[in-house]
Amino acid sequence: MEHVRVRVHEYPQMLFRGGFHKEGFTALLEIRPASMATQSEIDNVFRRLLHAINATNITEIVPYD
């Protein structure tokens, strides 16, 4: 997919919903306006990638600009 980027960061300790967790990851999915991919297509690829690495306790946030 062109004009789509995912950044993944690993943290040894992170704050999540008012509490600390020992370790964790965050991911930022960026879709540029020039992208021809639909949100549904991108979501499906992202979910397959998460499944491939056996990601658990996944929380979706409200999209923002």
Q: Which domain holds residue 40?
A: 4-52
10 within domain boundaries: yes
60 within domain boundaries: no
In whole angstroms, what is the distance from residue 30 CA to residue 6 CA?
Answer: 6
24 within domain boundaries: yes
In whole angstroms, what is the distance from residue 24 CA to residue 12 CA?
Answer: 7
pTM of the model: 0.61
2-55: per-residue pLDDT in tens? Answer: 898 888 877 776 666 666 666 777 788 888 999 998 888 888 888 888 888 888
Number of domains in the chain: 1
In whole angstroms, what is the distance from residue 4 CA to residue 56 CA?
Answer: 23
- pLDDT of 65 strictly over 70: no
59 within domain boundaries: no
In whole angstroms, what is the distance from residue 4 CA to residue 12 CA?
Answer: 27
